[in-house]
Chains A and B, each alone.
Chain A
Amino acid sequence: MNGHTDILAIETSCDETAAAVVRDGREVLSNIIYTQISMHTVYGGVVPELASRKHIEKIDQVISAALREADIPLKDLDAIAVTYGPGLVGALLVGTAEGKALAWASGKPLIGVNHIEGHISANYIEHPDLEPPYLGLVVSGGHTHLIVVKDYAEFEILGRTVDDAAGEAFDKVARAIGLGYPGGPKIDAAAKNGNADAIRFPRAKVNGSEYDFSFSGLKSAVLNYLNHAEMTHEEINPADLAASFQKAVVDVLTDHTVRAAREYGFHKVAMAGGVSSNSALREAMRKACEEAGMKLYVPSAIYCTDNAAMIGVAAYHEFMRGTRSGWDLNARPALRLGER
């Protein structure tokens, strides 16, 4: 309403209560994240009911902080955006009900945003040269998707995980080794002192769908290894184990991504989601892309984790295409990319 398009975005799909104001789909005016990680740590993972309770407690403070920091009053916004799926249903419901009421009371258009589309869009914030089409990889605690980004809000899914998400495998293995929660950063840190070739874990292929992923077999292989070691009273080396497991995940992710980019003729690859802050994955992907003559885009860590700025970016492109949501917008825990 000032020659710019300013969108307030809300994100509550898992354990981060977040709000942001984004200008013209590229410029982040504010990005507030209240993370609940410390509350869930004692339970070894996200407890959905506790996550929902914390969201409702914090959401207005987070939204007010986002508006204050952006120095834009609600009445000057062009639209209000909210993540409505996929994610934890109770958590999503808090954000959707809040976003709808805010939009209704302030007379602003409402835009429901797909969380995965948000992750992909995170790359537009810091990479002005990145424009579709390109190949995208979204890896997080809840998602593992290989995607052709045809246009700003147009996607084709090439592959996804058939069982655990990559980040979920990190969490489960970290728990088994006794590294604690959240597993991603813990394994990343432990692996730095380990030998990634110490143990040979399987790199799973999914029959009949060359770009799908499967991480549950790998997780089982780690658990079997631990059981075997316990029965034979063998000392395990957590650092070697973490590094070897991590390498198995990283190998599959980089192999699938570069292979798909080559087959579809893309020279640009964009990675996003919480797991894309993993240092081994970043390094391996950079190297693999470089060798294949492709340019790799990865957001800074703050835009890899769940945040609302990425939702605001995705919302901008939906807004420009005319997407508007109704007051009956519902949380959709299993929402697919490209689905409405």
Chain B
Amino acid sequence: MNMIALDSSGLVASVAILEDDILRAEYTVDYKKTHSQTLLPMLDEIADMISLNRASVDVIAVAAGPGSFTGLRIGSATAKGLALALGIPIVEVPTLAALAYNLYGADGLICPIMDARRGQVYNGLYGFLQGSLVTFADQRALSVEELAAELNEDGTSPVYLLGDGVAAYRAQLEELLTVPHIYVPAHLNRQRASSVGALGAVLYAEGRAVPPEKHAPIYLRKSQAEREREEKERKETKDAGDER
């Protein structure tokens, strides 16, 4: 089974090509250039390097969200274009579960954190049981305070902290966390397309691939315009109720 895996959900752009349980090539860049300029040239380079026969690719795995709205769409549109052209399906891999997969086999609670702005982080809580990923908390958006309180109360240790949200909120986490925790080192603490691919292969084997036209990112959040409109409507409904 041949797979192309993509992750452009955050600041990292990462592409990988996998053949069954072999990682043929991976290219990961954490630099300020836009994913629109980097992602496909990176894929082109590694595909050339391993003389990839494009028609031999069976599935595209993509980090499907949450993440930067624009970053997610660049990854999704790339995945949809590749899958449509090759007539193959897409495996939607939750971004935070893929980050947790960086720590395959770890012994504690895996806590990936992505900066979600507006005082929040995207997070999910994971662990490994006999080689399988277990989800303790589905990916969601919450405040650092809420997350720290949850981790402290749960008390499972050690807690492995990774993701770009760790850098953004490290001082706050230090202050709030009473549970033992470990900061994951550089080679494992950011998005890796190989992890998206490895977890994607598991999901693919479970028959969870979708046709390209069915794929859209998982934002976990409504757009600002929708939120403001709903807020306004709630207020109007409330005001109307008060008048009665």
Most chain A Cβ neighbours within 10 Å, of B69, B78, B219: B78
Contact with A along B74-90 (1 / 0, CB 8 A): 10111111101110000
Among B41, B54, B78, B229, which residue has its beta carbon within 8 angstroms of that of A97? B78
Contacts of A61 in B (CB 8 A): 213
**Which residues of A in the span 252-287 have a Cβ within 8 Å of any Cβ on B?**
none
The reply to whether the CB of A183 lies closer than 8 angstroms to some CB of chain B is: no
Contact B225–A56 (Cβ < 8 Å): no
- The answer to whether B69 and A64 have CB atoms under 8 Å apart is no
Count of chain B residues with Cβ under 8 Å from any Cβ of A? 35
CB B162 to nearest CB in A, in angstroms, measures 27
Whether, in the assembled complex, B94 has its beta carbon less than 8 Å from a beta carbon of chain A, the answer is: no
Say yes or no for A308: interface residue by CB 8 A criterion. Answer: no
Tell me the minimal C-beta distance from B50 to chain A in angstroms.
Answer: 15
Interface majority SS on A: helix, strand, loop or mixed?
Answer: helix
B81 touches A100 (CB 8 A): yes
Q: Which residues of the other chain, A, contact B44 by a CB distance below 8 angstroms?
A: 104, 327
Evaluate contact between A93 and B74: CB separation under 8 angstroms: yes
**Bound complex: CA A217 to CA B205 (Å):** 63
Asked, given contacts A56-B216, A98-B77, whether A43 binds B225 with beta carbons under 8 Å apart, the answer is: yes
Question: Are A98 and B78 within 8 A (Cβ)?
Answer: yes
Q: Check A331 against B77 for contact (C-beta < 8 Å).
A: no
Please give me the residue from chain A that is nearest to B75 by CB atom: A97
Instruction: Indicate if the CB atoms of A64 and B36 lie closer than 8 Å.
Output: no
CB-defined contacts of A101 to chain B, threshold 8 Å: 40, 77-82, 85
**Minimum CB–CB distance for A334 against chain B, Å:** 15
Is A105's beta carbon under 8 Å from chain B? yes
Report whether B37 and A328 are in contact in the complex, using a CB–CB cutoff of 8 Å: yes
Identify the B interface with A (CB < 8 A): 34, 36-41, 43-44, 54, 69-70, 73-74, 76-82, 84-86, 212-213, 215-217, 219, 223-226, 229
* Known A98-B77, A326-B41; 18 more pairs at CB < 8 Å: A49-B223, A52-B70, A55-B73, A60-B84, A61-B213, A93-B36, A93-B70, A93-B73, A96-B77, A97-B78, A101-B78, A101-B82, A102-B81, A102-B82, A104-B82, A105-B82, A328-B37, A330-B36
Residues of A within 8 A of B (CB): 42-43, 47, 49-50, 52-53, 55-57, 59-61, 63-64, 74, 89-90, 93-102, 104-107, 326-331
